[in-house]
Structure 1
Amino acid sequence: MNTLSARALALLVDGWRGAGSAPAYLALADRIRLLILDGRIGLGARVPAERDLSAQLGVSRTTVSAAYARLRDAGYLSSVRGSGSVARLPSGTESLPDSAAFGFVDFSKASMPALPAVAAAAQRAAEQLPAYLGGSGFDPVGIPVLRQAIADRYTARGLPTEADQIMVTLGAQHAIALIARTLLARGDHALVESPSYPHAFEALRAAGARLVPVAVSTDDGWDEQGFEQAIKRTSPSLGYLMPDFHNPTGMSMSAEFRERALELASRTGTTLIADETMAELGLDGPDGPGALRALDLPERAAGLSGSGGTGAPERSLPFAAFARAPGAASSAILVGSVGKTIWGGLRIGWIRADRSVIHRLTRARAAGDLGTPILDQLLVTDLLGDYDAILAERRTYLRIGRDRLVRLLGERIPEWTVPHVPGGLTAWVGLGAPVSSQLTLAARNHGLHIAAGPLFGPEGAFDRFLRIPFSYSEEETVRGVDALAAAWESVGRYPMPEHSYLAEVV
């Protein structure tokens, strides 16, 4: 059983008092409860003793005791005399169905509804399935036709690729976790962006990594000097980056910094995972901010791997194509999926890497799973044949959603800072005060599930920010913004509800 120290919990609840008028014990209980719901305090973890936490926070023991009692009454702590208190969820909340069934809007997931074309593609895939039924069905690398289609896509984007450089996975998250547990040893450093995708942190930590954060902001993008210092100081074995339409900020790396990052990684022996799940979701056109295309580096696109393919101007150039130094391209492993573009219910992702890395991953994969479903692979192969048209449709949908969200927030909560988002599915909104955690709890009272800003930092922080997706329907977006506006007015004055659910952030 993990034990959370008083110092660690004090860091996690930083700013818990907020600006509201709620009693101190309620404010503290609310913050600890949010940490449990968001997974920042793991289920079964032992929380600090009342005496230790009160000393660390500089409050009376009565305040902490009352907060713990509140959490026990609501079902978020379980206490045994002499053994302390452990985090839990109220009975029944672990297996709640989708929140939409209860009338909630769920903004914790940055995703789009499935394309109508998925159903027809599924029928066509089912017709092809009999040709594969004579085999075992266990497919650790991917069916040849899909691996070739993915390789062809990379080649068309400006990075010549062969099918044996591709592994098909159970989505991008599976790919990240597989790479982490294969290439990391316990205690290794892993460089990460801050803020970034929370489940990537989880995968790296599960592999035993010590995270080394590098800042990304909507004002300045990547802290390039901090990145260089971090990689030189710690020589990380692995790095996780989202260079295109970064989640949650929406920023994209410059071509120059991509080249520099690959060069530094090559020097230190660091492997960089480039999460490109949103790389082709640019919303401002081929010449807009963040658009990096094959034409931007014609010598790279024409000369990589010694073979042709200048790439299509409208397609984003893959991260590994920016390598200039000899061998630097091998420092990058690219991860993609159809979860953000076609549908999250299709658990198909992929890894693009050197053949030797693909072989290592294949040998290691059996410890976690035995392969990717054949039917889903056939379905995705079918849809990749019309992928450019699919992406064009998705970009139009997201562009409308982005502009709608900006307009609604400007009308309802004009004091918030909403940056221009050139691509992806989310806006990293500045609240002007460190109240994201309180706001998240208040929003639940108004029918909205949304992840607090600190969830996106490897060590918390970011309580001045809120990730808001613009990938939902007009009706859901209006309801979500209405809930945020109501929650914003009631921050510090709302009662703690007794039931909720453990959000999965996507």
Structure 2
Amino acid sequence: MTTSVRGDQLARLLGRWHSLPGRHRSPDYAALAAAVRGLLSDGRLALGVRLPAERELAESLAVSRTTVSASYRALRETGHLTSRRGAGSWTTLPNGHRVATSGLWTPDDDLDMIDMGVAASAAPVELVPAARAAADDLPRYLGSAGYHPTGLAELRDAVAQIYTARGVPTSTEQVLITSGTQQALDLVLRLSVPAGAPVLVETPTYPNALAALSARRARITTHGLDTATGWDGEMLLGALRQTRPRLAYMIPEFHNPTGHLMPVELRERMVATAHSTGTELVVDESFVDLPLDDPQMPPPVAVFDRHSRVMSIGGMSKPYWGGLRIGWVRASAPMVQRLAAIRVGVDMASPVLEQLVAVHLLRDAPSIVEARRAQLRFRRDALVTALREQLPEWRFFVPGGGVTLWVELDGPISSALSRAAEDVGVRLAPGPRFGLDGTLERFLRLPFTLAADDLVEAVRRIASVRHDLDRTPSRSGWRTPAVIA
């Protein structure tokens, strides 16, 4: 069923649409159409959404109906709006676009595109030998139906050993194998978050976590991270006590996107507070294997759990390869069984062959992960150097691990910059994608997972369009964006 957006809701999303760079050179209708395309570009307005009637939007924006009518006509001409008499108008795509791995809609012929919207690395060279070894192991499982809802015992045991080595004694029965970390989170939310339940998340945070929470119709509250220092412990604990959420989703190891590492004391106090408020903690450990400077990591949050309040999720995507859809949940054994029961109704089980590949990769984990760390350390430093040379007015915290920089820009231009960067072959994830309410326009996430030469070239291109934003050509407001959300 097509969803709708009311005039007042769209007006809030549009915000100060009339003050975009270059606005004084554009007619009202063109600026409004460009602002709507901007909402599509950074994902704040979805596809297939019915827009308000012209009169309703005109009243909400305090403009003439003629302006809205001309704006809708311009959007239809560029393929971003489809209208049918008596049915209304809804957001669509121009011809020739498709969904890319970044979650954005892109044309097929983007061969020169430097994609900085995805914070994941290419596969390690060890993947092919691991796949061949896994194929040799496969006959052992061909005599069964192949459904293992909790995962293969040998992979569950390997993951349990990882947690035990990190200081959290874990049995095989406490591990559920999933089809990636995203499914691990989705299963936990299906079990623990009924519609309307309060949930606490950090802001900024991982966009796909927000999407999963929205799909559960959770009532989301946020704790803001400081760009330079990370979590304010008293404010975080205060938010837990005041909102008493059903669940809190946290990324304590090299937080995505800020890169901060939660201190030991706060981890312990967070678990204790969660117990007192009846809150389940979901700890996303996607980046725990990627310290780049100091190899000494704080103990896992689960170390401080005495009441089965902590569910840890992780997977193979960041240290190994995103195309290997293997993730896991570490929780109490009864919780794992409940999650497995839910999982049967979703996809039955993870592919046996991929699980066997994961087993072989984990056996070689020390050498694979150390090589990945060295690679990321070099690329991070190349990106930092390029930014300081090309865009010295931008500010950022250099993380000691993970794969991303969270950059504070020199103005609230993140969405506009991302649209402009498309024209020079750079795909970006603007700040508002990492929050709830369309704010964070002063921020941009820049992953350092691409080759160093690509990162330096991307910064050069970004710098060129950043400077152009201050002197927008007089012929128009914004060009039609090449990437549509």
Q: Are 1:150 and 2:159 an aligned pair?
A: yes
Q: Report the identity percentage.
A: 41
- Asked if 2 retains the 8 angstrom alpha-carbon contact of 1:31 and 1:438, the reply is no
- Asked if 1 retains the 8 angstrom alpha-carbon contact of 2:430 and 2:445, the reply is yes
Cα distance in 2 between the residues matched to 1:28 and 1:229: 41
Give 3-state SS (helix, strand or coil) of 1:428's partner: strand
Q: What's 1:239 paired with?
A: 248
Cα distance in 2 between the residues matched to 1:339 and 1:98: 25
Deviation digits for residues 4-54 of structure 1 (CA, Å, limit 9, x no counterpart): 122322332224323334524434323322322443222211122333333
Give 3-state SS (helix, strand or coil) of 1:222's partner: coil
Cα distance in 1 between the residues matched to 2:92 and 2:293: 45
Cα distance in 2 between the residues matched to 1:224 and 1:356: 31
With the length of structure 1 as denominator, give the TM-score of the two structures.
Answer: 0.89
Q: What's 2:415 paired with?
A: 437
Question: How many Å apart are 1:65 and its aligned residue?
Answer: 3.1
Structure 1 residues 19 and 35, CA, compared in 2 at 3 Å: closer, same or farther? Answer: closer
Structure 1 residues 502 and 380, CA, compared in 2 at 3 Å: closer, same or farther? Answer: farther
Q: What's 1:52 paired with?
A: 56
- Asked if 1 retains the 8 angstrom alpha-carbon contact of 2:150 and 2:177, the reply is yes
Question: How many Å apart are 1:481 and its aligned residue?
Answer: 1.1
Q: Are 1:396 and 2:374 an aligned pair?
A: yes
Deviation digits for residues 174-220 of structure 1 (CA, Å, limit 9, x no counterpart): 11111111211111111111110111011111112111111112223
| Aligned with residue 374 of structure 1, among 348, 352, 365 | 352
Deviation digits for residues 141-189 of structure 1 (CA, Å, limit 9, x no counterpart): 1101000000000000111100110000000011111111121111111
Q: What's 2:111 paired with?
A: 102
Q: What's 2:383 paired with?
A: 405
Cα distance in 2 between the residues matched to 1:322 and 1:443: 45
Cα distance in 2 between the residues matched to 1:384 and 1:98: 37
| Aligned with residue 213 of structure 1, among 222, 242, 248 | 222
Question: How many Å apart are 1:459 and its aligned residue?
Answer: 1.8
- Asked if 1 retains the 8 angstrom alpha-carbon contact of 2:227 and 2:396, the reply is no
Show structure 1 runs of 4+ deviating over 6 A. Answer: 96-100
Q: Are 1:252 and 2:234 an aligned pair?
A: no
Matching of residues 132-147 of structure 1 within 5 Å: 132-147=141-156
With the length of structure 2 as denominator, give the TM-score of the two structures.
Answer: 0.92
Matching of residues 105-504 of structure 1 within 5 Å: 105-286=114-295, 291-292=297-298, 317-323=299-305, 326-327=306-307, 330-491=308-469, 493=472, 496-498=478-480, 500-502=482-484
Deviation digits for residues 265-322 of structure 1 (CA, Å, limit 9, x no counterpart): 11121111100000121112236xxx42xxxxxxxxxxxxxxxxxxxxxxxx222113
Q: What's 1:304 paired with?
A: none
Cα distance in 2 between the residues matched to 1:147 and 1:98: 40
Question: How many Å apart are 1:60 and its aligned residue?
Answer: 4.0
- Asked if 2 retains the 8 angstrom alpha-carbon contact of 1:426 and 1:470, the reply is yes
**Number of paired residues?**
472
- Asked if 2 retains the 8 angstrom alpha-carbon contact of 1:231 and 1:265, the reply is yes
- Asked if 2 retains the 8 angstrom alpha-carbon contact of 1:109 and 1:469, the reply is yes
Cα distance in 1 between the residues matched to 2:216 and 2:279: 16
Cα distance in 2 between the residues matched to 1:220 and 1:65: 47
Question: How many Å apart are 1:67 and its aligned residue?
Answer: 2.8
Question: Could you tell me which amino acid in structure 1 is paired with residue 377 of structure 2?
Answer: R
Q: What's 1:18 paired with?
A: 20
Cα distance in 2 between the residues matched to 1:11 and 1:435: 17
Cα distance in 1 between the residues matched to 2:417 and 2:484: 17
Deviation digits for residues 345-398 of structure 1 (CA, Å, limit 9, x no counterpart): 100000000111111111111221111011111111111112122221111111
Question: Could you tell me which amino acid in structure 1 is paired with residue 15 of structure 2?
Answer: D
Question: How many Å apart are 1:101 and its aligned residue?
Answer: 4.9
- Structure 1 stretch 491-500 or stretch 213-222: which is displaced more? 491-500
Structure 1 residues 83 and 206, CA, compared in 2 at 3 Å: closer, same or farther? Answer: same
Question: Could you tell me which amino acid in structure 1 is paired with residue 151 of structure 2?
Answer: G
Cα distance in 2 between the residues matched to 1:19 and 1:101: 26
Q: Which runs of 5+ in 2 are unaligned?
A: 101-105
- Structure 1 stretch 471-480 or stretch 421-430: which is displaced more? 471-480
- Asked if 2 retains the 8 angstrom alpha-carbon contact of 1:74 and 1:499, the reply is no
Give 3-state SS (helix, strand or coil) of 2:220's partner: strand
- Structure 1 stretch 186-195 or stretch 485-494: which is displaced more? 485-494
Cα distance in 2 between the residues matched to 1:7 and 1:231: 31
Give 3-state SS (helix, strand or coil) of 2:249's partner: strand
Structure 1 residues 427 and 58, CA, compared in 2 at 3 Å: closer, same or farther? Answer: farther
Cα distance in 2 between the residues matched to 1:375 and 1:94: 29
Give 3-state SS (helix, strand or coil) of 2:283's partner: strand
